[in-house]
Amino acid sequence: MLKICGLTQAPQAIEIAKLGVDAIGFICVPLSPRYIDPFKIQEITEKLAGFPNLLRVGVFANLELETIQKTVDIGQINTIQLHGQESPEFVTTLRTKFPNYTLIKALGVKDQASLDQAKIYAPLVDILLLDAYHPEQLGGTGRAWDWNLLKHFRPGCPWWLAGGLNPDNVVEAIRLTNPDGIDLSSGVELSPGVKNLTKVQALIQTLQPFRP
């Protein structure tokens, strides 16, 4: 599975969907330079009717249930990614509220303890997303991290790798960790929220041997 995250422009979303990615992400975190409001998301998702299998991911961090509900409804997204310090209890509540949505829990990995914590979420979600840890930033850091930590990571649910991936290091990352999916943002970006379509194309070319 391939997710390109942090989109803010409809023409880019259409081009990226045409290239055959599995998921596109919208950052619904107000402090992010990639923030996009629910009505802008709607403007984009309504142009993606021709891609029924595409996961349209709303990325949230430490936001209230009501905000998530509103964004899901207006933005017509079908996947919820929790990228903050959401508790297992909150994730369970969300699962109950959105039984038919794909649910992703993201965690910033600092050490083995982070991975032990990630495993607590495995029975509660559809996908775990393991990202770079940063003391001040929640995501979209562009920082690669010590993927060796993941060599024997088997959480019991599908998991995706994120954090500083780009067309040049993605093969090494996949060979080392064997994830079920990968997620890229700044590694295929011109500026926050504006993707570099040439880099997305290069990425897809590079990933050809690893994709169905």
Ligand X SMILES: O=C(O)c1ccccc1NCC(=O)[C@H](O)[C@H](O)COP(=O)(O)O
> Rule CB under 6 A: which residues touch ligand X?
5-6, 25, 27, 29, 32, 34, 59, 61, 83, 131-132, 138-142, 162-165, 183-187
DSSP secondary structure, 102-148, as one string: EEEEEEEE-SHHHHHHHHHHGGG-SEEEEEE--SS-SS-------GG
Of 8 and 45, the one with the shorter C-beta distance to ligand X is 8
Tell me how far, at minimum, the Cβ of 118 lies from ligand X, in Å: 15
Tell me how far, at minimum, the Cβ of 163 lies from ligand X, in Å: 5
Tell me how far, at minimum, the Cβ of 153 lies from ligand X, in Å: 17
The answer to whether 145 touches 133, Cβ cutoff 8 Å, is yes
Residue 93 CB coordination number (10 Å): 13
Of 19 and 50, the one with the shorter C-beta distance to ligand X is 19
Of 109 and 153, the one with the shorter C-beta distance to ligand X is 109
The answer to whether 119 touches 155, Cβ cutoff 8 Å, is yes
Residues 15-46 as b or e (16 or more Cβ within 10 Å = b):
ebbeeebebbbbbbbeebebbbebebbbebbe
Of 34 and 153, the one with the shorter C-beta distance to ligand X is 34
Tell me how far, at minimum, the Cβ of 126 lies from ligand X, in Å: 15
Tokens representing residue 81 in the block: 């990614």
Among the listed residues 131, 146, 157, 180, the single catalytic one is 131
Tell me how far, at minimum, the Cβ of 25 lies from ligand X, in Å: 5
Helices (H) and strands (E) counted in the chain, each on its own, are 7, 10
Residue nearest to ligand X (CB): 140
Examine the residue annotation and report whether 131 is marked as an active-site residue of this protein: yes
Of 50 and 135, the one with the shorter C-beta distance to ligand X is 135
Among the listed residues 5, 116, 126, 168, the single catalytic one is 5
Residue 178 burial (10 A CB sphere; 0-12, 13-18, 19+)? middle
Element holding 23 (H helix, E strand): strand 23-27
Bridge partners, residue 80, by sequence: 58, 103
Active-site residue set: 5, 131
